[in-house]
Amino acid sequence: MNYEDDYLKKVNYQIWKKILKVVFKEKKTAILLVVVVVFTGILDISIPLFGAYAIDTYFDKKIFTTLPLYITLLFISAFLLGLSVWAFISLATKIEVETNYQLRKKAFENLQKLSLDYYDKTPQGWIMARMTSDSRRLAEIISWGLVDVFWSLALMLTILVILFIFNVKLALIIFISLPLMMVIAYFFRKKILKYFRKARKLNSEVTRAFNESFLAANTSKSLAIETRLSKDFGSQTQNLKEKTIKAVVWSSLFTPLVLMISYLVLALVMYQGSKMVLNITVGALTIGTFYLFVDYTTSFFNPINNIARILAQLQQAQAAAERIIELIEKDTTVKDSKEVILKYGNKEQPNYANWEPIIGKIEFLNVDFYYQEKEIILKNFNLTINPGTRVALVGPTGGGKTSIANLIMRFYQPVRGKILIDDVDYQKRSIHWLRSNIGYVLQTPYLFTGTIFDNIRYGNLSATEDEVKSAAKLVGADQFIRNLPLGYQSEVGESGNKLSLGEKQLISFARALIVNPKIFILDEATSSIDSAKEKEIIFAIDQLLKTRTSIIIAHRLSTIVESDLIIYIDQGKIIESGNHQTLINNRGPYFDLYKTQFFATKEEQLKDLI
Amino acid sequence: MKKVKRLFSFVKVFKWLLLVIIVLSIFNRFTYSYVPLFSQYLFAFLRDPLRETIYQVNFPRFVSEFLWPNEGITTVIKIVMMLAGFQTVRFTISFFETFLVGKLSEEIQFNLRNQLFNHLQSLEYSYHKKADIGDLIQRVTTDIETIGFFLSERIGEFFTLLATIIFGSLQLYFISPIMLLIILVFLPISAGASIVYFIYVNKSFKIIEENEAKMITVIQENLEAVKVVKAFANEKYEEEKLEKANLEYVSSQKKYNKKRALYWGSSDIFSMLQYSTIIIVAIFFVRNERMSADGLVATLLLIGMIVWPIRGLGWMIGDFAKALVSSDRIYEILEQESEFLENGDLKPPLNQGFTFKNVSFQFKDSNNELLKNVNFEINEGETVAIIGKTGSGKSTLVYLLLRMLEVSSGEILFGEVPIKEIEKHYLRKNIGLVMQEPFLYGKSIYDNIAITNHKITEEKVYQAANVANLSDEIASFKAGYQTMVGERGVMLSGGQKQRIGIARVLIEEKPILIFDDSLSAVDVKTDVEIRKTLKKDHRQTIIIITHRITTAKEADKIIVLENGQVSAIGNHQSLKNQKGLYQDLWEIQGSLEKEFLNLIEGYQDEL
């Protein structure tokens, strides 16, 4: 993704149409906003008219009959102006806030539909940026852009109309200078945007360098390379400074230049106007009208700055729009077919009546699977797991263990071949049905901000308080939870960071248990937890796996040894399978694994011992 | 006051630049107050054939004289040309003003960035150990920007505002003192309202930010735990969760926006009231012949100059407060003392072994003695293992040796030279330390290995990689030695990182090498190989810190650390026959092997 080129993009109406469709649920607000903004623009313009009228009528002609009406109108327009400013700020911010809200909502809803292959390919930071800064920027440009563009247009048009009514010749002078101004303004805006983007990029490099220096502080000290790092950093900041100053040059040139031109036009207007007043040229001009021209000439060019800015920003925002639309429209690869939805219902309205009870038999039939075509994970893979058995998957990382779990969960689907649950191809049943019947515990126990109670209940949102507590009791988490000052209502902190790893794990067990599933998938944690918790966790695992079909990606010796079936997988193939005794006697790869594991475990235990 | 002084000290180096900016911005406003006079003069000239009102135009004398005698279109041309010329000069100056403001801001930030980077690098080990990196990043980015922005742009704007009001008022005074009076009545009200509004806005922003953070947390957790969400089929629940947070965020924004619309709407009415009052008063004046139309023209133009900018006063004061806070946060860092303030200046050869004499250590802010009265001697060329459990003080010992920590009592001698008299950089350059988790810089593998000396020959780098058993793996990467590592590069395993850390200290010959538990993620085979290669050079002193008894076994000298104290010194032969921790460990190791054999035997028997 090359953000550098964002500003060069051609306008893509398709994208904007889509964005507007998302946004303008509130067509009324938008139309009202445009009306108010145009009204404000016209009001802004009418203020100098008061001055002009006063000069002509009261100062020159000294006729005061209209004075009361004049004063009344003056106050009314003051009030109206305030009112319209209040109105357009209210409306524009409403659109801004709602757009931002809608974009985030839509994108998030689609994210919930997307399957895991999308998350594999897309960095989390990228998605976060779309959901925060991109959506904010879009909302801003849509709402305030609307204000600026219409206000500017209304202002310029009204000025032109009034001027043409009062004096065609003078108006023409102003009108002719318009295109020149537009070209210059647009050219500058683009340049400025381009340079500031460059500078911003360098700025984030500098931030990254700072971050690295903090992380590396003590390593750098021990290597005594501070001077060299300072020199590198110095050249980075120097570069940032130079590029920023370059951007500053362009942006400082811009305003004076636009003003300069508008004053040149003003000088011309003054010259021509004076000639008319002095009756040197044809065309009469009152002093009042002349004042109007002087005032209007300078205010006529102000909006150009706005329009140029909006145009430049629109191009920039288009990239943001494209990315958000992509997020909203992205189609998922794992989904239920129409027939399945018809029978089993969708996530919003599951048709529980048609859901078959599950027994827990799992079968892989000639399954091929890969994440990327170049790296095949499983090739013609066959495996049958009978109901109620405990299966341990072992073998080197990257051998395909996690992929098997992912396939059973239907996070991914086989590229070729079938997976049968209770002898039926699982693609013939709904994803919701499948996942509601499988308990899954991940290696890293992710918790959500909220209370412990909420986190356990996450497994089954309709669980009662008693069910939550008994699940906690069953995995042996009840004790530590009740020792907390707020018990089950204790906050776990962001991602559960107020709890220890072992505690988080226990809660994630309880969360899986409350589903009361027929099939259990457990990805055991690799790093050992505080040894005090170790026993509790082994106990908890036993509770989880009782009477269920279970598939464990196993790391702990005790878990492996006690499984009904151990499957050694490497490079997507089953190398060996059988129970512990048979495999030990085989003296194959399992034996080696067991040996290393044995000593590693003991060594870990030794570490605490000494 | 001290705080204000401190804030402004950042601009001290550039005081002349700042002065130029202030002078330019005052000059800009001063000249700007004359711009409406051109219109006034022109209108007076056009309206009044007797040229009486022209004398009321407050032009400097030489201008009036230049424009005189007033004859038809020539005067108009003179006025118009003068205006164009005048503005050209003004805009040129205003370009320089804006440019210099930007430059000043950038220069201040540039200096601060470099100063902070260097200072932070010089802060002691314990500071970095405790530092909250997120907070530090905030300080070196946002706080620096806030200060740079305030000291350049805001200061410039402040003087601009001041000059606008002063010069605008002056011009207005010449046209009509009463008009000035009217404006001066309105002015404080606008300023006050602006300040009150700013205080309110600031509060609202905090609430909005908090709500936004909550919403972001929901999204972030959802992305992180996507598998959990899907496994429990809780997508709908997640949507509801976001909806709630999203709505809360929206409602806090809406609340602020209501006030925002109200403020700007009413302040517009207020400004318009001033405008209207001026016109009406002027009309009544003209009845009494106390004011002319051209006077009104200039007045209206001048009012525009004064009335609108005052509304920004609140923001200025707010930014001042923010800049003060930022400068405090920066000073918190700068006031930390650099570890190099206390440094020796000797550079003795370090290949004569070293001695710990009654060394004790504890952190200044703790009562817990990490090392107690430690004594030992290490000779040139020895391989020494230090064994002990986590928290026994092994790593503390290493950091004392590199003088990244200071002994609390006792002393460390290199040969005869006390460590306090040795130059710190020299000391660290000559001791190769491989940490347990070495940090890899966001550079290529090659640059990471050659990090201490980027002028070293390629051959040496390859050789070091070879010894660290890295060559094959590096060859398997697409970009080989140019593969990027670190944050934006490939993910390396713990063992690979450690081995790069090892290669890093091997590129140059160092009298002392320390492996701080850094062979732990390397498998036993590699561990042995690396140590074998190192052994070839007998002049190097090698310290291996470990909890692996098999690693310690090979050493010439073994030091056993328990609870910060040396409990035994010897070699494998002597220690294994001596009651104590080492013997215990050795026996456990032996019994383990037996246990394993029994275990397999057992199964075979069962068959």
pLDDT of residue A533: 62
Statement: residue B575 has pLDDT above 90? no
Cβ distance A124 to B223 under 8 Å? yes
Q: Same domain, yes or no, for A367 and A491?
A: no
Which CATH number fits the domain that encloses residue A229? 1.20.1560.10
What ipTM was assigned to the predicted interfaces of this complex? Answer: 0.84
Q: Are residues B390 and B463 in the same domain?
A: yes
B147-168: per-residue pLDDT in tens? 999 999 999 999 999 998 888 8
Are residues B226 and B170 located together in one domain of the fold?
A: no
A49 & A25 share domain: yes
**Residues A508 and A543 occupy one common structural domain:** no
Q: Closest chain B residue to A264 measured between Cα atoms?
A: B84
Domain limit, last residue, from B290, B308, B324: B290
Both A407 and A474 in a single domain? Answer: no
Poorest-pLDDT segment among A140-144, A592-596, B128-132, B592-596: B592-596
Q: What is the DSSP string of B307-321?
A: HTGGGGHHHHHHHHH
Residue recorded with tokens 């010069």: B167
User: What pLDDT sits at residue A67?
Assistant: 87
Chain A residues within 8 A of B287 when measuring between CB atoms: 62, 64
Across the interface, whether the CB atoms of A86 and B266 are under 8 A apart is answered: yes
Intra-chain end-to-end CA distance of chain A, in Å: 53
| Per-residue confidence (pLDDT) for residue B548, from 0 to 100 | 74
The token duo for B147 is 């200060």
Domain range for residue B474?
A: 354-580
Residue B287 contacts A where some CB pair is shorter than 8 Å: yes
Cα–Cα–Cα angle for A270, A272, A277, nearest 5°?
85
Is any Cβ of chain A less than 8 angstroms from the Cβ of B548?
yes
Judge contact between B144 and B109, C-beta under 8 A.
yes
Could you tell me if residue A339 is inside a domain? no
Looking up tokens 């092997």, which residue turns up? B593
Residue B254: φ, ψ to 5°:
-65, -40
* pLDDT of A5 over the 70 cut: no
Nearest to A256 among B95, B588, B596 (CB): B95
Q: Is residue B603 part of a domain?
A: no
What is the DSSP pairing of strand B409-414 with strand B417-418? antiparallel
Per-residue pLDDT, A452? 94
Residue B329 belongs to a domain: no
Q: Are residues B408 and B506 in the same domain?
A: yes
Mean pLDDT of all residues belonging to chain B: 86
| CB contact residues (below 8 A), chain B span 153-212, against chain A | none
Query: Which domain-ending residue is among A472, A491, A516?
Result: A516
SS3 for A319-335, per residue? HHHHHHHHHHHCCCCCC
- Residues of B within 8 A of A349 (CB-CB) are none
Give residue A1's pLDDT: 35
The answer to whether residues B403 and B536 belong to one domain is yes
Q: Which residues share a beta bridge with A391?
A: A551, A565
In A112-197 the beta strands, taken as DSSP E runs, fall at: none
Is residue A208 domain-shared with residue A151, that is, in the same domain? yes
Q: What is the pLDDT of residue A2?
A: 38
Q: Which domain holds residue A454?
A: 445-516
Question: So what's the pLDDT on residue B524?
Answer: 64
**Residue where a domain terminates, one of A499, A516, A533:** A516
Asked if residue A345 belongs to a domain, the reply is: no
CA distances from B97 to A199, B84, B309 (A): 21, 20, 18
Tally the C-alpha atoms within 13 A of residue B367's C-alpha that lie toward its C-beta.
Answer: 0
A372 and A480 assigned to the same domain: no
Distances (CA, A) of A73 to A67, A601, B319, B489: 10, 90, 39, 69
Report CB contact under 8 Å: A264, B114. Answer: no
- Structural domain contains residue B300: no
**pLDDT for the residue numbered B194:** 86
Per-residue pLDDT tens for A573-590? 889 989 888 888 888 888
A340 within a domain of the structure (yes/no): no
Output the pLDDT for position A546. 77
Average pLDDT over residues A390-397: 86
Instruction: Tell whether B193 and B277 lie within a shared domain.
Output: yes
DSSP states of B165-188: HHHHHHHHHHH-HHHHHHHHHHHH
pLDDT class for B601, splitting at 50, 70, 90? Answer: low
- At residue A603 the predicted structure's pLDDT band, cuts being 50, 70 and 90, is low
Are A27 and A100 in a shared domain? Answer: yes
Q: Decide: A82 and B265 in contact? Cβ < 8 Å.
A: yes
Calculate helix-pair angle for A13-23, A67-113, nearest 10 degrees. 100
Q: Tens digits of per-residue pLDDT, B228-255?
A: 888 888 888 999 999 999 999 999 999 9
Quote the minimal CA–CA distance from B215 to chain A in Å: 10
> Of B242, B260, B290, which residue is a domain's last?
B290
Mutate to test the interface with B, among A117, A219, A249, A410 (most CBs of B within 10 A): A219
Instruction: Say whether both A454 and A391 belong to one domain.
Output: no
Tokens of A388: 């109620």
Q: What are phi and psi of B376, to 5 degrees?
A: -170, 165
Do A511 and A524 lie in a common domain?
A: no
Question: Residue B59: inside a domain, yes or no?
Answer: yes
Do A100 and A60 sit in the same domain of this protein? yes
Tell me if A575 is assigned to some domain: yes
Among B244, B273, B290, the domain-final residue is: B290
Q: Is B225 on the interface with A (CB under 8 A)?
A: yes
Q: Are both B222 and B284 inside the same structural domain?
A: yes
Counting the structural domains of chain A, the total is: 3
Task: Indicate whether A20 belongs to any domain.
Answer: yes
Please indicate, yes or no, if residue A350 is contained in any of the structural domains. Answer: no
Is the same domain home to B407 and B478? yes
pLDDT tens, position by position, A9-41: 566 788 888 887 776 677 788 889 999 999 998
Model confidence at B600, pLDDT cuts 50, 70, 90, reads: low
Query: Does a structural domain hold residue A77?
Result: yes
Which pLDDT band, with edges at 50, 70 and 90, does A3 fall under?
A: very low
Its pTM surpasses 0.90: no
**Which of these, B325, B441, B119, B433, lies nearest to A211 by C-alpha position?**
B441
Question: Chains A, B: CB contacts under 8 A, how many?
Answer: 380
pLDDT at residue B483 tops 50: yes
Each residue's pLDDT tens digit, B306-352: 877 787 787 788 888 889 999 999 999 999 999 998 888 889 988 88
Q: Encoding tokens for residue B129?
A: 């150990």
Cite the DSSP H helix spans in B405-548: 424-430, 445-449, 458-467, 471-476, 494-506, 524-535
What do you get for the CA distance between the two ends of chain B, in Å?
88
On whether residue B214 sits in a domain, the answer given is yes
Same domain, B467 and B391: yes
A311-315, A409-413, A560-564, B482-486, range with the lowest pLDDT? A311-315
- Asked, for residue B343, whether it belongs to a domain, the answer is no
| CATH for A601 | 3.40.50.300
- The pLDDT of residue A361 is above 60: yes
Q: How far is CA A376 from CA A402, A404, A412, in A?
A: 14, 13, 14
Distance from CA of A420 to the nearest CA of B (A): 18
Q: Hey, are the CB atoms on B88 and A210 less than 8 Å from each other?
A: no
Residue A291 sits in the same domain as residue A404: no
For the record, the structure tokens of A266 come out as 């003003």
Higher pLDDT pick, B4 / A558? B4
- Strands, sheet with B371-378, edge to edge from the N-terminal-most edge strand: B371-378, B354-361, B409-414, B417-418
Are B157 and B181 within one domain? no
How many other C-beta atoms lie within 10 A of the C-beta of residue B508? 15
B327 occurs within a structural domain: no
Contacts of B279 in chain A (CB under 8 A): 50-51, 54, 74
The confidence score (pLDDT) of residue B537 equals: 63
Best-predicted range by mean pLDDT (A199-203, A371-375, B332-336, B451-455): B332-336
Indicate whether B554 and B415 sit together in one domain: yes
Is position A31 within any domain?
A: yes
Distance between CA atoms of B599 and A557, rounded to whole angstroms? 13
- How many whole angstroms separate alpha carbon B237 and alpha carbon A112? 10
Distance to chain B for A6, nearest Cα, Å: 22
What's the number of domains chain B is made of? Answer: 3
Average pLDDT over residues B553-560: 88
**Cβ atoms of residues B312 and B161 within 8 Å:** yes
- Of all residues in chain A, the percent with pLDDT exceeding 70 is 93
User: How would residue B70 be classed by pLDDT, with cut points 50, 70 and 90?
Assistant: low
Strand A519-523 and strand A438-441: the pairing is parallel
Q: Are residues B407 and B543 in the same domain?
A: yes
pLDDT band at B490 (very low <50, low <70, confident <90, very high): low
Is B348 inside a domain boundary?
Answer: no
CB contact under 8 A, B80 and A603: no
Backbone angles phi and psi of B529, in degrees to 5: -60, -45
pLDDT at B607: 38
The residues in A 111-150 lying below 8 A from B, measured between CB atoms, are: 111-113, 116, 119, 124, 127-128, 131-132
What count of other Cβ atoms lies within 10 Å of the Cβ of residue B602?
11
Would the pLDDT of B203 be above 80? yes
Task: Kindly determine whether residue B389 and residue A608, on different chains, have CB atoms separated by under 8 Å.
Answer: yes
Residues of B in contact with A104 (CB under 8 A): 215, 219, 242, 246
A198-205: average pLDDT: 87
Closest alpha carbon to B564 in B431, B440, B392: B392
Cβ <8 Å between A515 and B266: no
Please state, rounded to an integer, the average pLDDT across all residues of chain A.
Answer: 85
* Closest to B387 (Cα-Cα) out of B587, B126, B590, B583: B583
CB A304 within 8 A of CB B105: no
